[in-house]
Chain A
């Protein structure tokens, strides 16, 4: 019989000598062993549960970062405001795989207007001091380019102020922006903004998209993550807080973010997802990929696994 023919028709396992085997006994022993091992590991190492960051804790811990972020939300220059699909229609935004732009093709299915959703609506919904009502009226009445000029000037001024402190900003033409952001900071510090961004006018709610996007636009959340060795260049989300194994099985996905050309590409996410999709498909189709399916024969690790069988054949 040729080698090729033999490979095409593997022998029937039933044709080989047998040995006693108790399937249910093996399964029961394995189940008890795993349960005991799990109970031991849980008792020894517990599980991480770092408190989540709220808009209230962020605005209390770093009010200047909160204010700087709120100005960019109002002026439409924050990361979320410039994101593109699925949140908004920012021209030119959206990653591509070569010429293919799946992000834009999916469209805007979770619309987010950062000025309206994160700043103006919460201010309108809260009891308004007279100066805030006047500031809202002034903002609404101003043309878009005027609004842009105010937020841009105030962002620059905050950048130049010591520690970005709004109280130390040089005088300038910022329109109603300082009043609006100051009031938003007060709402956030009181805890009202967390509820407003989540509820969106409804009672029951489980969608944290808006408060999460706002949090992500600031630097506080990222700073806390970096301190917990969770930043993207620290192998990012495969880790978790504390000394826990995290999602170690995501190592290959995270690995691509650490090397060129991905780590410097503006399309890194899309390219890495495309690469992982191809690799995942190849993984599923290993039995049909010439070369890859022959690796076991070349490496001969199988001779270690079946060493008793091969020893008996000598």
Chain B
């Protein structure tokens, strides 16, 4: 008699089915990202460089950009042209985006020179790269919906590139309403989901080891770990 047909085999199979789709999704999530991976309180000792700070700085500045964008959304797109408080909130939005892009580019170059795609981390690189491209698009649409001279000039110039490859027929940069929707709904949604995916991949795969690093022998490791505070 096979194990699966035995009482214990049936119990195991039943346990696996508990909770239907929801239970299966929970088991997958816990298996893929156990709490100690999702919210770690230790990291490999080789993670010792300022370059690692730029990932969390990028996420932080994205949060500030989204939050300040939400404040602008509360009052509508014309508010900041007529209110000093609105002007300051718009300035916060602008500078958080500048910082976001600056931190992201440093983070990106750091990961490039670390060849951070090694060890089944190609998708982490790819989601990060697409995040960068989506951020360029999100920032670009932001410039288009400022309702000032910059918006006029940038949209007038940008339409030619988009029209030349057929995109402008659907993505009309001269249509303020369409660009506003892309800027405050569609692109932030895409960027938010991509960022979440990217961060979860980082947590799942762990921090990439140094190039050509060899994992210490178990005896070596236990000795090294023993000296940790």
Contacts and interface: CB of A to CB of B under 8 A. Distances in A.
Of A16, A31, A293, A308, chain B has the most CB atoms within 10 Å of the CB of A16
A305 B122 contact: no
Contacts, number: 304
B149 A241 contact: yes
A27 B60 contact: yes
B150 A207 contact: no
Contact of B210 (A12, A288, A309): A309
A31 B63 contact: yes
Contacts of B208: 10, 13
B81 interface: yes
A23 B40 contact: yes
Interface residues of A, number: 105
Contact of B115 (A6, A9, A225, A293): A293
A106 B150 contact: no
Interface string B133-145: 1001001100100
Contacts of A144: none
B88 to A, nearest CB: 6
Interface stretch (B6-14, B15-23, B156-164, B185-193): B156-164
A305 B57 contact: no
Interface in B146-178: 146-158, 160-170, 172, 174-178
B152 A267 contact: no
A169 interface: no
A49 B146 contact: yes
Interface string B114-137: 110111111001100110110010
B39 A23 contact: yes
Given A241-B149, A244-B94, A306-B114, 15 more contacts: A10-B209, A13-B209, A17-B221, A30-B56, A38-B96, A41-B99, A42-B95, A106-B170, A107-B169, A110-B172, A212-B152, A212-B156, A212-B174, A269-B164, A302-B211
Which 6 A/B pairs are nearest by Cβ-Cβ distance?
A: A206-B177, A10-B119, A106-B166, A11-B215, A13-B206, A287-B117
24 contacts: A6-B212, A15-B215, A16-B45, A19-B42, A21-B40, A21-B47, A30-B53, A38-B95, A41-B91, A46-B91, A52-B151, A86-B172, A109-B170, A206-B176, A208-B174, A212-B152, A221-B152, A225-B153, A241-B150, A269-B165, A284-B126, A296-B114, A296-B115, A302-B210
Interface of A: 3, 6-7, 9-24, 26-27, 30-31, 33-35, 37-39, 41-43, 45-53, 83, 85-86, 94-95, 97, 102-103, 105-107, 109-110, 206-209, 212-213, 215-216, 221, 224-225, 228, 230, 232, 236-237, 240-241, 244-245, 247-250, 267, 269-270, 272-274, 277, 280, 283-288, 293, 295-297, 299, 301-302, 305-310
